[in-house]
Amino acid sequence: MTESGRKTLAGIALILALGGLIGWIYDAAERGLLIAALVALLWQLRNLIAFDRALHTGDFGVFRYGEGIWQQLFSRFSYEHERGDRYKQQNRRIIKEIQKSANAMPDGAVIIDQRNEILTCNKAAKELIGLKRKKDRGQRLDNIFRDPGLTKLLQSSESTRAVDLASPLRENEWLNCRVVPYGADQKLVLIRDVTDRIQLSKIRRDFVANASHELRSPLTVICGYLESFAEDEQVPEHLLQPLSQMRSQARRMTTIVKELLDLSRLEGAGLAATDQAIDIAALVAAAMKTYSGCEDAPKIEIHIESGDQLLGAQSEIESVVNNLISNAVRHTSVDGSIKVSWQSGPDGADLIVRDTGEGISAEHIPRLTERFFRVDRGRARGDGGFGLGLAIVKHVLERHSGELIVVSERGVGSEFRCHFPAQRVAAA
């Protein structure tokens, strides 16, 4: 038993004893005890009522003095009460700080539930996509920020995804939206202003396109004169060698400029139209003509296993075929062999170019489609490759919803497989 409990019991015992004693003196011990018990009860009742009032008013000052169980109870309660208040204030302050920092963030953040309904958002989100915090709570995010890209993003089930969208409020501004799983069944949508990045890549693309375009006309003039010098008999003997080198280099430069132009055109374009059916067999046959008379080219086999046609842009697919075959020829020695095949199945069609050349090591495969990437920096220059071919192939395939799959082993050979989805294939 605690100290205060003992004191209270002692107090009650004292009252009862006093009552009993006085009663005993006047020869009415029972009545004395009864009155004492009543007094003790009243005393307890008074404290109980005071406690009840203190609970309502929150003022525990009445019980600051005295001893016993009630005083203990009151001071304890009042202490907890004050502590609770203090914590509440502290928590409120912390929440305010967090809100402040969320609002100070330059990126917009919107929390949505599994039905894409907005739970809360920060200030930047309001400014970036025009949300209204009070009014839009409970609205679906894709009902306010209606962009087919966002709807698709919210529907897809990958864990972290991002997409660039045009700003709904301001022109020529771009937002990057990223969806991150958050809490139970919730999603956090992060919105960032990426106008600068988009602008920059546009400037880069425009620059490459313009520069290549501007380089083309002077090159045509240079090539023209060099060609005419080649047939001119008055050109002195000692200039013939330099002139022929100049001619081949000028031709090389023309090809690079042309490929750069192609590439920048492909980069900016969306999906290719599907109204043109392309006969792959004819394309491959046409490409083969280049190598038919060549003695230093390896043997090339053609396996056309399907009569299906591809839907897309003829000239682009032609450049894919040419690039893949010329790559294979360049990297395969004369005694090797190259196999070009075209096959189709229920999930689409494949154009496969397989060679028995030197192969590519695994760490280089992901970088093959970068512009000007070369596996062997020291080599290559002389053999006619520019490092743009596979970049073009990649972009053409993207435009045809296809993908490039490269399998290769050093010393054994490589396989370049262009896979086209079923909707790009027209059955023969």
Partner 1 sequence: MQASNFTDHISRSFNQDIEGLRNQVLTMGGLVESQLSKAIAALVSGDSELGLKVANDDYKVNELEVSIDEECSRILATRAPAAGDLRLIVAIIKTITDLERIGDEAEKIGFLASKLAAMDRPSDSYREIKTLGTHVLHMLRDAMNAFARLDVTESLEVVREDERVDEEYEAIQRQCITFMMEDPRSIKRVMNVTWVARSLERIGDHSKNICEYVIYMVQGRDVRHTDISEASDLASE
- Which of 143, 244, 248, 333 is the binder for partner 1 (CB under 8 A)? 143
Identify whether the C-beta of residue 294 lies closer than 8 Å to the C-beta of residue 423.
no
- Which of 75, 151, 254, 276 is the binder for partner 1 (CB under 8 A)? 151
3-state secondary structure 308-355: CEEECCHHHHHHHHHHHHHHHHHCCCCCCEEEEEEEEECCEEEEEEEE
Question: What are the two backbone dihedrals, phi and then psi, of residue 416, each rounded to the nearest 5 degrees?
Answer: -110, 115
Shortest Cβ 172–partner 1 spacing (Å): 10
Residue 168 near partner 1 by CB under 8 A: yes
- Which of 140, 178, 364, 374 is the binder for partner 1 (CB under 8 A)? 140
Residue 156 near partner 1 by CB under 8 A: no
Residue 173 near partner 1 by CB under 8 A: no
C-alpha 295 chain-centroid distance: 50
Shortest Cβ 217–partner 1 spacing (Å): 20
Shortest Cβ 119–partner 1 spacing (Å): 8
Identify whether the C-beta of residue 330 lies closer than 8 Å to the C-beta of residue 397.
no
Using alpha carbons only, how large is the chain's radius of gyration in Å? 43
Shortest Cβ 179–partner 1 spacing (Å): 17
Shortest Cβ 138–partner 1 spacing (Å): 4
Both tokens assigned to 32: 């004395």
Both tokens assigned to 168: 């709904």
Q: Which H helix or E strand runs over 179?
A: strand 174-182
Residue 185 near partner 1 by CB under 8 A: no
- Give the x-and-dash track for 376-415 against partner 1 (CB under 8 A): ----------------------------------------
Residue 345 near partner 1 by CB under 8 A: no
**CA angle, 118 then 119 then 125, to 5°:** 65
Helices (H), 65-166: 69-104, 123-129, 141-144, 148-155
Question: What are the two backbone dihedrals, phi and then psi, of residue 311, each rounded to the nearest 5 degrees?
Answer: -100, 120
Residues 6 or more apart from 407 whose CB is under 8 A from it? Answer: 414, 415, 417
- Which of 63, 124, 136, 312 is the binder for partner 1 (CB under 8 A)? 136
Residue 262 near partner 1 by CB under 8 A: no
Residue 270 near partner 1 by CB under 8 A: yes
Residue 242 near partner 1 by CB under 8 A: no
Shortest Cβ 266–partner 1 spacing (Å): 12
Residues that contact partner 1, how many (by CB under 8 A): 24
- Give the x-and-dash track for 106-135 against partner 1 (CB under 8 A): -------x---x-x----------x-x--x
- Which of 92, 146, 204, 252 is the binder for partner 1 (CB under 8 A)? 146
- Which of 144, 215, 302, 426 is the binder for partner 1 (CB under 8 A)? 144
Residue 269 near partner 1 by CB under 8 A: yes
Residue 285 CB: number of other CB atoms within 10 A?
A: 13
Residue 198 near partner 1 by CB under 8 A: no
Residue 176 near partner 1 by CB under 8 A: no
- Which of 107, 127, 147, 398 is the binder for partner 1 (CB under 8 A)? 147
CA pair distance 73, 90, nearest whole angstrom: 26
Residue 143 CB: number of other CB atoms within 10 A?
A: 12
Region from 84-92, 140-148, 179-187, 352-360 binding partner 1, contact rule CB under 8 A: 140-148
CA pair distance 280, 349, nearest whole angstrom: 11
Shortest Cβ 174–partner 1 spacing (Å): 13
Identify whether the C-beta of residue 60 lies closer than 8 Å to the C-beta of residue 81.
yes
Q: Which is nearer to partner 1, 32 or 108 (CB)?
A: 108
Residue 103 near partner 1 by CB under 8 A: no
Shortest Cβ 55–partner 1 spacing (Å): 36
Q: Which H helix or E strand runs over 176?
A: strand 174-182
The per-residue b/e assignment along 166-175, b for 16 or more CB within 10 angstroms, e otherwise, is ebeeeeebbb
Q: Which is nearer to partner 1, 152 or 204 (CB)?
A: 152
Identify whether the C-beta of residue 320 lies closer than 8 Å to the C-beta of residue 418.
yes
Paired strand residues for 178: 162, 190
Lateral strand order in the sheet of 413-420: 299-304, 337-345, 348-355, 413-420, 403-409
- Give the x-and-dash track for 276-315 against partner 1 (CB under 8 A): ----------------------------------------
Q: Which is nearer to partner 1, 206 or 370 (CB)?
A: 206
C-alpha 127 chain-centroid distance: 22
Shortest Cβ 183–partner 1 spacing (Å): 15
Q: State the residues that interact with partner 1 by CB under 8 A.
A: 113, 117, 119, 130, 132, 135-140, 142-144, 146-148, 151, 166, 168, 171, 269-270, 273
